[in-house]
Structure 1
Amino acid sequence: MKIHYYKFKICTALVLLVCSSLTVVLAQTTRPAHIGFIYPISTNGLGAPNITNNFSLHALGGLSAGERGLAIYGLAGMVQGDANGLQVAGLWSKVRGDVEGLQVAGLMNEARSANQAVQVAGIVNLLEMDAPVQVAGIFNKARQVQGFQTAGIFNLSQSAKGAQVAGIANFTKMVEGIQIAGIVNEVDSVKGVQIAGIVNRAKNVNGVQIAGIVNIAESSDYPIGIINLIQDGEIRIGFYADENLTSMIILKSGGKKLYGIVGLGSNLQYHELPYAVEAGVGLKVVDGGHFRLDVEGTNLFMTNFKRRGEYSRSGLKVLPAIVLSNKVEVFAGPSINYMHTKYAIGDELAGMSLWNRERRSVYKAIHLGLSAGINFRIY
């Protein structure tokens, strides 16, 4: 009887040990590896949504409670909680919680927050909250970006601190740093630099706006563009002639300090150069009631659209002005210029020459000039 008693005790202990082991396995929430084809065909089976893994590898798609290392999905991966480490998906990667590390997908990344991670997607990155770095072929969306956000088409965020770069457009409420778009930037507040190929639009700019065509803002002291529509700035239309009797109608628009210059005109003395266009940027140096002093850097181009009728001049003008009223001012001042032309009488166009050279029918010179005219303030 004693032998049977001891056998019974040993068997009971073994059964309890096995049951205990099974209980530990079933209750386990973290496993070293998760290998599968597509949910639920995997080593974690139907329990995969409740298990966190240190390593995951799935031929098509995988599902887990969390990831703490490397996770690779042939097509798509979904994490119900947080993901730490590297996540790579052929098409789509979604994390319902926070991402720390790197999230890469061929098409789209989704997460609640990635404020300690980098998101890279072929098409779209979507975040409910924050990210330091987002890179997408088409579109990035985040609440706040503190670092770098770049997209082939456009970026959307509430706040961007660092750099925001898009091939077409950036839309955000506040930028601290630099914002660059191939076509348009739109933002409420800028502290830094805003650069667009065509249009910048903002409410308040504490920094510099640079646009290929138009800057629009309620307040912007340093806009650089052909046309600058600044609510607390000014717009002037003027007429001037230089020492060669090149006569121009000029539009000057900008903020309290910088303004853009664009003009059209002709030359009354040399009929072989009938068409003239000018563009540049000006700086208001002094604005003392009845006296004003501007410094302008401009480029003047004249042509007859024929091979031997081209003239280009880049120069710096110093233009003191007498303010006759709050709408009218007259100005006159010197300039120093670098010019080159294929026109046969280039030496006549650089009458006050400091240096000149002619080679292969191209005349070049550094010369002094003079401009005088009148401006009418319309805004």
Structure 2
Amino acid sequence: MKYSGKKTVFLFLWLGVCLLAGFGTALLAVRRSEAFFYKKAALMAAGAPERAGEMMRSLKREEPAEEAAGEILLKRFGYEEGGFTREAFGSLTGWLLLFYSLAAGGGMLWYTMGAKRRRRRILELEEYLVRINNGEYDTGIGNREDEYSRLQDEIYKTVVNIRESREEAHKGRENLAVSLTDISHQLKTPLTSLSLLQELLEEQVKGEEGRQLLARMEQQTGHIRSLTAALLTLSRLDAGVLPLVKKEEDLQEVLSFAAETVRSLTEDKKQEVRITGGEGKLLCCDLGWTGEAVANILKNCSEHTPEGGCIRIHVTQNTIYTRILIDDEGPGLTSEECRRIFERFYKGTGGDRDSAGVGLALAKSLTESQNGELRAENRKEGGARFLMTFYQ
């Protein structure tokens, strides 16, 4: 606001200077015309001193007939109307051109300097926003008074609010991770007790029906254990406290580790996991967690691939990214599944009834935490395809 007031005062002062300059120019023109008239009258009086009084009296009279006769007489000697002021007009025109050239030059200089100053201020604010996007919450954009002062104040307030919100959100995620960790540890004790009780019951139960009930109990206990571990991992990923040890790993080893994790599931359905393109390729990643992500995708593919089918893993690599393609031979994905397949607790059609719906969500989070992305699509040949891309 202060800058706007100063700018208005400056504009009024400039307008006043221009008006004064115009008034002065008009006054100068009048005085120059009077000086020319006085000079020419003096020359005429000096040329005929004996008739000077008569000539001066004639100048004071306004007789149209004598004025017309005088004009004819002047034309006879080569003097026409305006001839006495041409020289003065030329000199005055030069002064006017000089003045307006200086005024235009000053205006252009003022405009150019103002535009340069505005560009510099806009660049400062732009760089400030870039630093904010990079997580640098400094306030080093100056404290000057100009037309951008209000915008600067609003940016500063927004930055403070964003920083406080992010800090609160980060603390909330950390607290959630701690709480889930505590819950996980608390669950381990009853789960261990259940496992011991199941072992004791196996020794006492003799009938086939009892053994089946114990098998279902063991299955559900394992399901609770795996679900608890997955939720704990997801919460630690959200809070940014999951330790990832990234180093150059043999990609074939990573994929083999993942395939070995789901071997019992694929062997029960007589399925084959075929890996191609991974030989001799390296990937900067965390071996254990990356293998966990791939294993969760393989588990989903195994659930949808018919018995005796094949799950194919193919690797492509260039200077920009490493891509892992995982194809199944299932019925493919519906439009809703394509949109929601990576949502937590979402269960698509044809999946395992005991699945909690967090495996693919965990795979996506683990991939993104390592500068990667995960998406799903349908293959032209039929079946679903998962594209896991890690950028260099």
- TM-score per shorter chain, which class? under 0.3
Q: Which has the larger radius of gyration?
A: 2
Question: What TM-score does the superposition give when structure 1 sets the normalisation length?
Answer: 0.26
Question: What TM-score does the superposition give when structure 2 sets the normalisation length?
Answer: 0.25
Q: Which has the higher strand share?
A: 1
Q: Which has the higher helix share?
A: 2
